[in-house]
Structure 1
Amino acid sequence: MSPQPSNRSALLEGALRCVGSMPLELISARALASEANANLASIGYHFGSKDGLVTAAVVESLDRWLASIGEQLSAVDDSADGSERFHQAAVAIDATRAAHQSVARAFVVALARGHHDKVVADHLIEGFMHTRPRVAKLLGLGDDDIGTDAGGLVHALFTGLLVQSLLSDELSLDADRVVTAFHRIAETITPYRSND
């Protein structure tokens, strides 16, 4: 008998709980299936592999984090300029970063695995592709290709800082430092004009 499609969401929710509460090396396929109250075969059926499921859970967790940041930004006055929206996003990330350290660690592992595991890479690529325009929309960067590229750049900035902060709090930058540094970058490259 084939695993039921409804098992997919149960597996994802179970994996989210595992990633949030267990060291990665202890997250086995059996533990994931048990947490989701699903059969073991359904992991491969829906996610390709145990690592595929864990990676999908990491992507989903990061998506939910981004959604919560979006909710906080919805309270920002519509008349606020882009700099203020960016600052408020940095504040929201800074305030919630500690709560997402286990997901950040799992993300680093997934990136390393994705280099030689196509199932993991595909989950990550899908995540990056749909996150870029979402970040662009949240920050008012535009819905064209350049806006999406800008969303990818901002996402890479915050992801990189998140990964660095796992090594030491000294490497983390609070919201004011992030915005000040970004202004310096913008000032430095302002004379640049694309050939387009």
Structure 2
Amino acid sequence: MGNREALIQGAKQCLFEKGFTRTTARDVATAAGVSLAAIGYHFGSTETLLTQALFEAVGEWGARLTEAMAAGGDPAAVWDGVIASVRSDRAMWTVQYELVGQIDRSEQLRTFLTDSQRYARDELADLFGSPEADEERRLLGGLYQAILGGLVMQWLIDPDNAPTGADIVAALELAAQSS
């Protein structure tokens, strides 16, 4: 593995251990086993390196999440797949929530998160079999995304009292009946 690849691996490690905002150039260089100068040479700045590492980590994590959510087939199993992802990839979820607080400080992060959100909305609409009409897909994808975000937040903060996949499905049925 060359210095560039070692830096990306070291940056991923630091992102998961320390978060985006608390990771320093020295942290990454130490984790990668390379000099501080290598960051400037290969990436120009620590922020650019961390952002690149984040993009790669999100891509890897997204594939695992898609697989976990698609494994069950029924809606409760899909939500249980999200919960399984929180358990197995807690650090990745935590970093993403940290990044939301940084979107006003980095246009690159804002663009990345905006694109990711739009993609996730479409994927969730597909996963739950939403209608083909664009407006209905947008609305339902947004609802599923809001539920997903709230579910993940509950599992990160208070897993002992967070809803299960079956709870989410039952609650959606109750909400539909009361409308």
Contact 2:12 2:54 in 1 (8 A): no
Percent identity reads 17
Aligned to 2:153: 163
Q: Give the TM-score taking structure 2 as reference length.
A: 0.74
Q: CA RMSD in A?
A: 3.2
Q: What is the count of residue pairs matched by the alignment?
A: 170
Give yes or no for the alignment of 1:19 onto 2:15.
yes
Aligned to 1:194: none
Secondary structure of 1:114's counterpart equals coil
Aligned to 1:101: 90
Query: Structure 1 168/71 Cα, relative in aligned 2: closer, same or farther at 3 Å?
Result: closer
Give yes or no for the alignment of 1:120 onto 2:109.
yes
| Displacement after TM superposition at 1:114 (Å) | 0.8
Match for 2:39: what amino acid? L
CA distance in 1, matches of 2:60, 2:158: 22
Q: Which runs of 5+ in 1 are unaligned?
A: 1-6, 77-84, 190-196
Deviations 1:130-182 (A, max 9, x none): 11111111121134422133122212211222123222224421112111111
Deviations 1:10-49 (A, max 9, x none): 86665444434x222553345446649794244358x973
CA distance in 1, matches of 2:14, 2:32: 8
CA distance in 2, matches of 1:37, 1:159: 37
CA distance in 2, matches of 1:182, 1:140: 15
Q: Give the TM-score taking structure 1 as reference length.
A: 0.69
Deviations 1:76-96 (A, max 9, x none): 4xxxxxxxx211101222233
Secondary structure of 2:102's counterpart equals helix
2:121 to 132, 137, 145: 132
Contact 2:76 2:166 in 1 (8 A): yes
Secondary structure of 1:158's counterpart equals helix
Query: Structure 1 70/95 Cα, relative in aligned 2: closer, same or farther at 3 Å?
Result: closer
Give yes or no for the alignment of 1:28 onto 2:16.
no
| Displacement after TM superposition at 1:50 (Å) | 4.6
CA distance in 1, matches of 2:119, 2:62: 9
Map of 1:69-88 to 2, 5 A cutoff? 69-73=68-72, 76=73, 85-88=74-77
